[in-house]
Amino acid sequence: MHSHLLSAVQAGALALPNRVVMAPLTRSRAGQPGDVPTALNAEYYAQRASAGLIVSEATQISSQGQGYAWTPGIYNDAQEAGWKQVTDAVHARGGRIAAQLWHVGRISHPLVQADGATPVAPSAIVAEGANAFVVKPDGTPGNVPTAMPRALETDEIAGIVADYAKAAQRADRAGFDMVELHAANGYLLQQFLSTNSNTRTDRYGGALENRARITLDVVDALIDVLGAGRVGVRLSPHFAGHGIADAEPEDSALYLAREFSRRGIAYLHIAEPDWAGGPKLGDAFRRALREAFEGVLIFCGGYTADRAETLIASGMADAVAFGRPFIANPDLVERFRVGAALNKPDASTFYGGAERGYTDYPMLQG
């Protein structure tokens, strides 16, 4: 049963024992103050160590890169030490884990920025309909509309690329097996890619090659730190949230896929727009991605084990990532293996809180 999904695969420098990937899942439970991973986070990830690969929750590379309260960072010594607790716990259970590196760009607000700074973006265009999650001045948490960002100066962009490289160095020291560059879901790198959020006239705007430049600059910086075999990238073509309305989503994804393949990165992770209202990905586009990218190709978006098995068996994917099923089923791989029923996730506990809805979901009885 599910023989393809449960078979081993080589992803760059990493041998994965199965093709069930744990998708990055923001859970808003970093220790406070300081957005530092804790022993509770270590327990949560260790419970899920049977995944072929765990991709960590999105982790900001700098205080400027933060858009939500209580999400972890990886830009100072305390955060690095916190993540070391997590990777040690995952490795003790025989698992593998990648750090997802994140800069939110304009999906932020001065209330979650250091010293009340204005968020940054490719262009000074507000993300219509988007929210940041903040702690308000009276101490209550909640969503607020994202702020009007300021456009990055051309000479600031190299500093952001350097922040990604420093985060990769910290991820390496913290024991992560790989890093995943978050270039999806309407955050900074997709803001540069998208035709409606990037109106720049410098070398980072205009033609597709220019709009994609910062993503490739960051990938090159990560490769310099870790080697191509320890780098993956997440893209979300057709993503329609956070004010993104790209006129060239498939062209962008295929151009980047070819460039990533030329660089020899470990994997390309495609987030399908199931929750953001975009069109479903067609098989023709999947085949084009398969042709463009020679590494491990991962799709994520509301899959069941049966649908994942079919997609991998077809040759259009090498692995499939699961999000909500991993929230409620720490032993998801074993449940797939034996055909067991899945626990249902409690959406009220997705964001924030402590053990409830985080580390207390039942496992199969051995």
Q: pLDDT of 90-137, one tens digit each?
A: 999 999 999 999 999 999 999 999 999 999 999 999 999 999 999 999
Please answer whether residues 63 and 105 qualify as being in contact, where contact means their C-beta atoms are separated by less than 8 angstroms: no
The answer to whether 303 is a known catalytic residue is no
Query: pTM for the complete prediction?
Result: 0.97
pLDDT per position as a tens digit, 185-237 = 999 999 999 999 999 999 999 999 999 999 999 999 999 999 999 999 999 99
Does the bond joining 37 to the residue before it have cis omega, within 30 degrees of 0? no
Where are the strands (E) in 50-152, listed by range? Answer: 53-60, 97-102, 120-121, 131-135, 141-145, 150-151
Q: What is the pLDDT of residue 141?
A: 93
The model's confidence at residue 281, banded by pLDDT at 50, 70 and 90, is confident
What's the chain's average pLDDT?
96
- Between the two ends of the chain, the Cα-to-Cα distance in Å is 20
Between CA 121 and CA 42 the distance in angstroms is 33
Q: Where are the alpha helices (DSSP H) in 65-144?
A: 77-92
Bigger pLDDT: 280 or 115? 115
Query: Where do we find the tokens 């109106």?
Result: 199
Q: Which domains does the chain have, with CATH numbers?
A: 9-349 (3.20.20.70)
Catalytic, out of 44, 68, 75, 187:
187
Q: Above 70 in pLDDT, residue 366? A: no
Considering only CA atoms, give the Rg of the chain. Answer: 19
What backbone phi and psi angles, to 5 degrees, belong to 9? -155, 145
Work out the number of other CB atoms within 10 angstroms of the CB of residue 325.
21
Collapse the DSSP code of 210 into the 3-class scheme (helix H, G, I; strand E, B; otherwise coil) and give the result: helix
Between CA 107 and CA 86 the distance in angstroms is 27
Query: Where do we find the tokens 């790989």?
Result: 178
Residue 345 corresponds to which tokens in the numbers above?
């996730």
